Structures are given as C-alpha cells and as structure tokens.
Amino acid sequence: MIADHDVRTVAFQKWTSLTNGDLVRAAEKAGFDVMLTADRSMRYQQNLALRRLAIIVLSTNEAVVVAANVPKIVDAIAAAKPGNFLELDLSEDLDD
C-alpha cells in the first residue's frame, strides 16, 4: 500500500493479456497517471511523447526489494511527469 495513491496490479485490472502498447493505452484510459513496471524494454517500445501517463521502470520486481524501497518509489511517483520515463535503481544495500 502506498498512502495517498490508488495502486492496482495488472492482474487486479484483468489486463494480464494486454501487450505493452495496449497496456499503456488501457492505463491511460482508466485515468492512471503513473505506471510502475520492471520491464526495461518498455522504454524502447513505447513513445510517450503525447501521453498523459508517466512510466517508472524499477530495476527489479522482487517483492521484498520493492517493499524495502517504498519511500524511494513514492519520491519517484511525486517527480513523475506525463510523457516521461524514469528508471529507478532499487539495488542499493537494503541493510542501511
């Protein structure tokens, strides 16, 4: 759970069969502002220039790493701008 944000998974939305382009369009149509993904190739597959959606590409989708980095992810969401990609490295030492 990320406070002050409506977070949904692709499975929850029943979008698991959508390819990247259709997924971006569906997310935008549903009113999402930011999409989190670990799919590093999405940056090269999607042109967001005219989109209202921002995409944040996480370096991993491993649940324990993502959970340990929620504050960093929240900061990235706050900094996200429509039509932009942001790569977020979550590989820093988790013992800090």
Cα distance between residue 11 and residue 70, in whole Å:
20
Q: In this model, does residue 40 exceed pLDDT 90?
A: no
User: For residues 89 and 2, what is the distance between their CA atoms, to the nearest angstrom?
Assistant: 18
pLDDT (mean) for 25-53: 85
pLDDT per residue over 53-94, tens digit each? 999 999 999 999 999 999 999 999 999 999 888 999 998 655
Q: What percentage of the chain has pLDDT greater than the value 90?
A: 62
Q: Where are the domains of the chain?
A: 10-88
